[in-house]
Structure 1
Amino acid sequence: MPEGDVLRLTAERLTAALRGLPLVRAELRWPSAGAANLTGATALETSAYGKHLLTRLDDGRTLHTHLRMDGYWRVHRTGSREATARHPAVRAVLATDAWTAIGWHLGMLDLVRTHDEGRVLNGLGPDVLGDDFPTTGLADGVVRLAREADRPLCAALLDQRTVAGLGTIWMAESLFARRLWPWQAAGTLPDGERAVLLRTARRLMERSVAVGRARGLGAVELHVHGRAGRPCHRCGTPISVGTANEKPYERPVYWCPTCQAGPAQGRTQDQAQRSV
């Protein structure tokens, strides 16, 4: 599933393509929104909150989309062959005279009044990449993480009600950076270390956004995620992969058994880990 860094870059791309010009074509291929008419409205901006996108219009409405596992937006020159968007997997088309933005395989789509945006974001934790995260968001995230006292850190960080924007990549990379065993109970960390962990997640994701802008997300270096069986960049131990959450919501957790060593007893069976 795309994470907060991908959503931030997507929001920037949509804003650059659509902002300030009236929509000459607008198609919402979604049962609950298909009858809506957005043609003539002007896009003010697209912002990201966690894994959600909010495209705000000058008529007081906001298009809310979520990519889920497979969704993405692409921008093409209006009038080009790619901009025709005839494929059945297309869920949204927003076009100005210059650019056409196409939402593929979107997992959620809502059209709401802008002042009701909070309704679609209700229950989410603070956005790790939000402008206010270093101030109010961080403190809120620390409190929310502390409430997950008995949950493994990996599961608590993946829960968007704790903090919004983290997925399997930056959960794993943040825990590796702090040398934390992914299945350590969140309640065993002191508040100071919880804060450092969340600041680390933000720093890594900010770096990903910066690299993505300059060279593309394929240039972002990962230390553990997706590297099962390959040597740890620190110690050379083969990276292992375990599991967060129970079926059917399980997610992979990549980690270094040496740099992130856990309790000597029961650390594999209890967390359904498997070494590769």
Structure 2
Amino acid sequence: MPEGDTVLQTAGRLHRALAGQVLVTSDLRVPRFATADLTGRTVLDVTARGKHLLTRIEGGLTLHSHLRMDGAWRIYAPGERWRGGPGHQIRAVLGNTAHTAVGYRLPVLELLRTRDEEQAVGHLGPDLLGPDWDADAALRNLLRDPARPLGEALLDQRNLAGIGNIYKAELCFLARATPWLPVGELPATTAALLVSTAHQLLDANRDRPTRITTAGGRARTVAQAASRMRRPSDTLWVYGRAGRPCLRCGTPIRESEQDGRPAYWCPRCQSGPAPA
């Protein structure tokens, strides 16, 4: 599930494969832009903005894409078999003489004037991994609607950009609050710490192949921690661990639904309202 850290990694891979090179292949497989031809133009850079990708191309153009739940960009060498999914799932192909980038299952794909990028990303709050990161502004945004459930407020990209469902679950656990607790009921110090923790977690995972939010659960020694961290399910506190013991207290992790997405929490470690 792409979140701010994985989108940043995707942007890095695309940038290394495409930036500074002339496009010899261009195929946008969405009706609105199917006739657009970018061949002969140089890719200038690829950057992430929250969970959005901006591929800037010579001539003042930007290809804007968003991965949402299961979209992906894959990069292939000449002659390499494309393995990202069946052909009907391909939405974009950009290639130079050394690499071909193929976008699969992209729910958002549009070609913009670079000067109009704000139309696509201007609504976003401070980017947790961007140069515009502003913890104070993010905190003000998060607390703007005190009655809003914490989980929903964290997922709202207008508050702070880059958090997805995994980080939502992990941050609520670390704040010792259920995802349904009204955000205004968080102690002021906890709310501020939550914002800084969000930044620290995404920054720590920006280059990791496996996302880690816990240093090994209840392990007491370096050897125990190393052993536990070899189990993928112990790299996260609560996300995807329904029915398994909490790494902090041993209580079974619970799962329910919040705003159409799965929500995970420990009923002992996290206080606040929760489904029966």
- TM superposition score category, shorter chain reference: 0.7 to 0.9
Q: Which residue is equivalent to 1:168?
A: 165
Change (3 A) 1:75 1:220: farther
- For residues 4 and 224 of structure 1, do their structure 2 counterparts lie closer, same or farther at Cα, with a shift above 3 Å needed? same
Whether the 8 Å contact between 2:253 and 2:267 is mirrored in structure 1 is yes
Q: Which runs of 4+ in 1 moved over 6 A?
A: 83-86
Contact 1:85-1:93 within 8 A present in 2 as well:
no
Q: Aligned partners of 2:72, 2:126: CA distance in 1, in Å?
A: 23
CA drift at 1:79 = 3.0
Over 3 Å counting, the alpha-carbon distance change for 1:219 and 1:172 in structure 2 is closer
Q: State which drifts further: 118-127 or 232-241.
A: 118-127
1:261 aligns with 2:271: yes
What residue identity is the alignment partner of 1:50? Answer: G
| Whole-angstrom CA distance in 2 between matches of 1:220 and 1:20 | 40
Secondary structure at the aligned position of 2:206 is classed as helix
Task: State the shift of 1:189 in Å.
Answer: 2.6
Distance 1:11 1:239 in 2: 34
1:211 maps to 2:221 = no
SS for the counterpart of 2:117 is helix
Quote the Cα distance in structure 1 between the aligned partners of 2:35 and 2:87.
Answer: 19
Q: 1: distance between equivalents of 2:61 and 2:234? A: 35
Q: Which deviates further from its counterpart, 77-86 or 19-28?
A: 77-86
Q: Whole-Å Cα distance in 2 between the matches of residues 190 and 256 of structure 1?
A: 19
Distance 1:85 1:29, change over 3 A: farther
- CA distance in structure 2 between the partners assigned to 1:36 and 1:51 by the alignment: 24
> What SS does the aligned partner of 1:32 have?
helix
- Once the two structures are superposed, the pairs formed by residues 14-29 of structure 1 within 5 Å of their partners are 14-29=14-29
TM-score, normalization: structure 1?
A: 0.86
Q: Is the 8 A contact 1:171 1:201 kept in 2?
A: no
CA distance in 2, matches of 1:212, 1:206: 13
Structure 2 residue matching 1:210: 3-state secondary structure: coil
Structure 2 residue aligned with 1:194, among 191, 194, 215? Answer: 191
Q: How far is 1:78 from its partner?
A: 2.3
Change (3 A) 1:37 1:9: same
Residue 149 to residue 95, structure 1, CA distance change in 2 (3 Å)? same
Unmatched 5+ residue regions in structure 2? 213-231
The answer as to whether partners of 1:26 and 1:94 remain within 8 angstroms in 2 is yes
Residue 190 of structure 1 and its aligned partner are, at CA, apart by 4.4
Residues 109-188 of structure 1: pairs in structure 2 closer than 5 A:
109-133=109-133, 137-188=134-185
Q: By how many angstroms is 1:191 displaced?
A: 4.3
Letter of the structure 2 residue corresponding to residue 243 of structure 1: E
Instruction: After TM superposition, give the deviation of residue 118 of structure 1 in Å.
Output: 0.4
Name the aligned partner's letter for residue 137 of structure 2: D
What's the CA shift for 1:210? 2.7
**Map of 1:251 onto structure 2:** 261
Letter of the 1:78 partner, please give it. P
Q: Distance in 2 between the 1:84 and 1:212 partners? A: 18
- Tell me the residue number matched to 2:47: 47
Q: Normalising to structure 2: TM-score of the pair? A: 0.86
What RMSD over aligned residues (CA atoms) do the two structures have, in Å? 2.3
Contact 1:28 1:36 in 2 (8 A): yes
Q: How many residue pairs are counted as aligned between the two chains?
A: 257
Paired residues of 2:85 and 2:104 also in contact (CA < 8 A): no
Report the Cα distance in structure 1 between the residues aligned to 2:76 and 2:210, rounded to whole angstroms: 18
Contact 1:240 1:254 in 2 (8 A): yes
Change (3 A) 1:241 1:66: same
Q: Which stretch of the first structure deviates more once superposed, 199-208 or 25-34? A: 199-208
**Residues 77, 83 of structure 1: 8 Å contact kept:** no
